[in-house]
Amino acid sequence: MHRLSLIVAVLALAIAGCAARKAPVPPPTYPAVPESAIQELRRVPSGGYDKLEVITIEAEVGPQLVSAMRSVRQSAAQKGANAIVMLSDAEFSQKVKRRQLRVRRISYLIIHRR
């Protein structure tokens, strides 16, 4: 009998815990914009904005990095963003098959300013 009441109590707590959680709100959607319309900001703006996505790229310094950065702008434009904010930028060495490469990891916040 004690075991049954314990199971009932655990189930009641589990149901109550699930009921109290709200489903995450999906980010708003905006029509695509031209890449040239996207501003690059040094910090998060003080005014209102909607967070659309965080994108992190990691690429070898050179053409590969330039291509990855272009992809960020293209993705932001497709999502209707009008600004990207660089959150972090780190450069480091990485050894790949006896070669020492310079690699950058950059995280961007993709936003739509109101």
pLDDT at residue number 9:
57
pLDDT at residue number 28:
84
Tens of pLDDT, residue by residue, the chain (114 residues): 556 565 655 555 556 555 556 777 777 899 999 999 999 999 999 999 999 999 999 999 999 999 999 999 999 999 999 999 999 999 999 998 899 999 999 999 999 999
pLDDT at residue number 3:
60
- One-letter amino acid at 101 equals L
pLDDT at residue number 96:
85
CATH number for the domain formed by residue range(s) 30-113: 3.30.1660.10
What is the CB neighbour count within 10 angstroms for residue 110? 24
pLDDT at residue number 23:
77
Domain range annotation of the chain: 30-113
